[in-house]
Amino acid sequence: ELRLPEGAALEAALRRTTGSVRANPRLGGDRPPGTDPAGSGELRGLSFGTTAVDVLAGLMGGLCRLVADDLVLLEGGVGEPMEVVLGGGALTASPWWRAAFADALAPREVRWQRNPEIGAAGAALVALGRLPEAAHIGGIGRTDETASHA
């Protein structure tokens, strides 16, 4: 629907965004521990000059803030800040999104798992009863590293 550029062109366009669009990305509702129903999402700061990339950046930034808010709840249960390791194909493909997460989650240490299929790999190890091996999956780097360092 948004007709976004792809690959390097999208990444360059994201770097040029001004952050004028703010979003609550709960379009389909909340995931635990949240309780907001479907249709709770919103976009703010739209103008005639707003681009599709601005909307995407607002939604992605909103998701980063949701994760940060949920992490505060989890940390309340353990009483200390957590180290965060991000993963997945979208984060592997986007240095911009890794940086947005690092900003939203500061001052916590935030790193990322370079394997774009880390979720599937971890789920497979758990399903096979090989949970101890899942703890030793390597390839974790800093959020300011690009995928080419993998």
Domain count, the chain: 2
3-state DSSP of the chain: CCCCCCHHHHHHHHHHCCCCCEEECCCCCCCCCCCCCCCCCEEECCCCCCCHHHHHHHHHHHHHHHHHHHHHHHHHHHCCCCCEEECCHHHHHCHHHHHHHHHHHCCCCEEEECCCCHHHHHHHHHHCCCHHHHCCCCCEEECCCCHHHC
- 87 and 149 within one domain: yes
Q: Which of 63-67, 109-113, 118-122, 140-144 has the highest mean pLDDT?
A: 63-67
- Residue 69 falls within a domain, yes or no? no
- Residue 74 falls within a domain, yes or no? no
Q: Provide the pLDDT for residue 119.
A: 78
- Residue 68 falls within a domain, yes or no? no
Q: Provide the pLDDT for residue 6.
A: 94
Please give the model's pTM, rounded to 2 decimal places.
0.79
Summarize pLDDT for 40-58 with one digit per residue, the tens: 999 999 999 999 999 999 9
- Residue 143 falls within a domain, yes or no? yes
- 97 and 150 within one domain: yes
- Residue 75 falls within a domain, yes or no? no
pLDDT band at 118 (very low <50, low <70, confident <90, very high): confident
Domain, as residue range, for 45: 1-62
